[in-house]
Amino acid sequence: MVLLQISEPGRSPDPHHHRRAVGIDLGTTNSLVATVRSGSPVTLANDRGEHLLPSVVRYLSGGVEVGKTALEHAVDDPLNTLISVKRYMGRGVEDIARLGKQLPYELAAGKPGMVRFRTVSGDVSPVQVSAEILRTLAERAEASLGGSLDGAVITVPAYFDDAQRQATKDAAMLAGIKVLRLLSEPTAAAVAYGLDQGDEGVIAVYDLGGGTFDISVLRFSRGIFEVLATGGDSALGGDDLDRCIAEWIADQAGLSTDLAPALQRNLLRVACRAKEQLSESDEVALSVEDWSGRLDREILYSLVDPLIDKTLRACRRTLRDAGVETADVVNVVLVGGSTRMPRIRQQVAAMFAREPLASIDPDRVVAIGAARQADVLVGNKPGDEMLLLDVIPLSLGLETMGGLMEKIIHRNTTIPVSKAQEFTTFRDGQTAMAIHVLQGERELISNCRSLARFELRGIPPMTAGVAKVRVSFQVDADGLLNVSAREVNSGVETGIQVKPSYGLDDGEISRMLQDSFAHAREDMKLRALKEQQVEADRLIEDLAAALTRDGERLLSEAEYHCLEVALSELRKYRQDCEDYRELQRHIESVANASETFAALRMDDAVSRALSGHRLEEFEGRQ
């Protein structure tokens, strides 16, 4: 007898065959790659022993530089040296304009859509820049693991929307990397500490990096991490601490406020070094120009405390958004280089009244969690039950008549997920249907975000309400959405992969959520009113058409007049009435008044269909 070896798809049939999988933290300031080696996750260094790769790419006329060498030219070649492009991933030119910030780069002119930067080697997009960073890390990993990679888990901020996630995936594809899954950064940090194997409960992930602060509140239950809320400040990080310290030094050294750029940069460098040294020692010596002095922890704290307070306020706000109390938080995880500062650890511990998890290097913790997840996903740990799921941050749905949002997949649904709903046509003989895909929590589409539009054409003409259009929403494990529509009777079908050309503002998701809570009651009323208005429109249209066609023939003059008056009153109500109950009552009364007319038309239609035919004709057909 021959035995076939059967294995799960995607899993190695040979339990001893180890697959090369990595986790990549594609950061705003720094990026890292990690892998699981002999059961332990480690970050991988380059040949100079450096683990952190500055997320900087410099374009030259004949090639690129990535990382530290590129960073060294940030000052003398600023237009070709691209820094912090993560901020622009999946963003359109309009989004950047909306942020109201002056870009430090030259934009490729005249083209709407994705942002592109003008460099000596041509226009490049944030996706291309990120691909260079990813490629550098993948090559490092391949050199270290001795062969090509089987796949990678790449982390993204929890608040990244569809466009930003898609841009990240595109960058990986461009770099020739197989993406096993995109994983949210706070979830990766929680996994690094093994919280996915631990107790259920609420987890807070405090991430203070170089330029950004993120606070995420997760709930871990039944093997799933659910993002309850995210918050933070996209313009607050270690760089701001450096600026505070630099100002203090300038003040101490009696330097004027109007400093030359070179001196300013030097001051920031000195400030940053002092800040980092003070994480280890109590006092440091400083010297700038011909001034020298000292900075101790006490002064440092007085300088940075206001900024730390700002992060703690954001934490409280985000906990409120998540609907949890500080006491509900069972674990606090520290992420980001700035959390090395003892003062930050102290303050965070005090706020949550518990010691935060900080034993893993806060620079590496996200990459390490991603590596652990990648190891499981390629099948290196058969039998391991760890299956991580993320949830979608905002509901996804469709525009229905009256400008209403019909939610198909609700927010916080775990992904991957697939859901379908049936819709029908509004008009007789309607052969096309516009499908408008939206994201958001509010009832009116004007308060939601438009993701995509497409049309289902070729529906055979049918009476209104007979066509059955089944719209399916599918969100894959990376949070990307596919929408398809199919008319059930005829089988005509069309679909779209939602690849929006622009993204949401960092705080926009949480704002949209808050808005939806704040306006819930008002929205419900507005929704009910819109629904009644659609009802009214339908009745007005039907009745007007019927009166024109059959009114004079079937009705007495008095009856005709009566219905005409009812119709014009309904039109007026439709315009002016703001109470949905009142409008509903009015619609019902007009519908009742026109019932006799409807019955007359029905009888008329039947007798006309029968007239001129002999009964046998009908019998003969059977």
Applying CB under 6 A, which residues contact ligand ADP?
27-30, 209-212, 237-239, 272, 275-276, 279, 336-338, 340-341, 363
Q: Which stretch binds Mg ion (CB under 5 A): 25-33, 69-77, 539-547, 614-622?
A: 25-33
Q: Which stretch binds Mg ion (CB under 5 A): 20-28, 294-302, 449-457, 472-480?
A: 20-28
Site for Mg ion in 32-71 (CB under 5 A): none
Which residue, 276 or 283, has its beta carbon nearer to ligand ADP? 276
d(CA 206, CA 231): 10
Residue 86 known to be catalytic: yes
The contacts of residue 601 (CB under 8 Å, 6+ apart) are 546, 550, 554
The reply on whether position 27 binds Mg ion by CB under 5 A is yes
Of 532, 347, 350, 510, which Cα lies nearest the Cα of 441? 510
Q: Which stretch binds Mg ion (CB under 5 A): 24-32, 483-491, 547-555, 560-568?
A: 24-32
Least CB distance from residue 275 to Mg ion, whole Å? 17
- Choice among 150, 185, 240, 506 that is catalytic: 185
Least CB distance from residue 522 to ligand ADP, whole Å? 39
Name the binder of 210 from ligand ADP, Mg ion, none, CB < 5-8 A by kind. Answer: ligand ADP
| Size of the residue set binding Mg ion (CB under 5 A) | 2
Least CB distance from residue 25 to Mg ion, whole Å? 7
Residue 25 known to be catalytic: yes
d(CA 449, CA 566): 39
Give bridge partners of residue 81 from the DSSP assignment: 58
Name the binder of 379 from ligand ADP, Mg ion, none, CB < 5-8 A by kind. Answer: none
Residue 297 DSSP SS3: helix
Of 172, 193, 194, which Cα lies nearest the Cα of 182? 172
d(CA 547, CA 566): 12
- Choice among 25, 161, 240, 375 that is catalytic: 25
Residue 178 known to be catalytic: no
Least CB distance from residue 514 to Mg ion, whole Å? 25
- Choice among 65, 95, 196, 207 that is catalytic: 207
- Comparing every residue's Cβ against ligand ADP, the nearest one is 238
- Phi and psi, residue 311, nearest 5°: -70, -35
Which residue, 41 or 209, has its beta carbon nearer to ligand ADP? 209
Least CB distance from residue 337 to ligand ADP, whole Å? 2
The reply on whether position 209 binds Mg ion by CB under 5 A is yes
DSSP state of 186: H
Buried b (16+ CB within 10 A) or exposed e, 569-580: ebeebbeebeeb
**Order of all β-strands in the sheet with 63-66:** 63-66, 56-60, 81-83
d(CA 136, CA 129): 11
Which residue, 59 or 206, has its beta carbon nearer to Mg ion? 206
Which residue, 88 or 597, has its beta carbon nearer to ligand ADP? 88
d(CA 92, CA 376): 35
Q: Let me know the angle formed at the C-alpha of 468 by 426 and 457, rounded to the nearest 5 degrees.
A: 75
Least CB distance from residue 214 to ligand ADP, whole Å? 9
- Phi and psi, residue 591, nearest 5°: -60, -40
- Choice among 65, 86, 161, 399 that is catalytic: 86
- State the number of CA atoms in the 13 A half-sphere of 463 facing the CB: 2
Least CB distance from residue 210 to Mg ion, whole Å? 8
Evaluate the CA torsion angle 143, 148, 150, 152 in order and state its sign: positive
Of 478, 578, 591, which Cα lies nearest the Cα of 173? 478
Which residue, 151 or 157, has its beta carbon nearer to Mg ion? 157
Which residue, 89 or 469, has its beta carbon nearer to Mg ion? 89
Annotated active-site positions, please?
25, 86, 185, 207
**Residues at the contact surface with Mg ion, assessed by CB under 5 A:** 27, 209
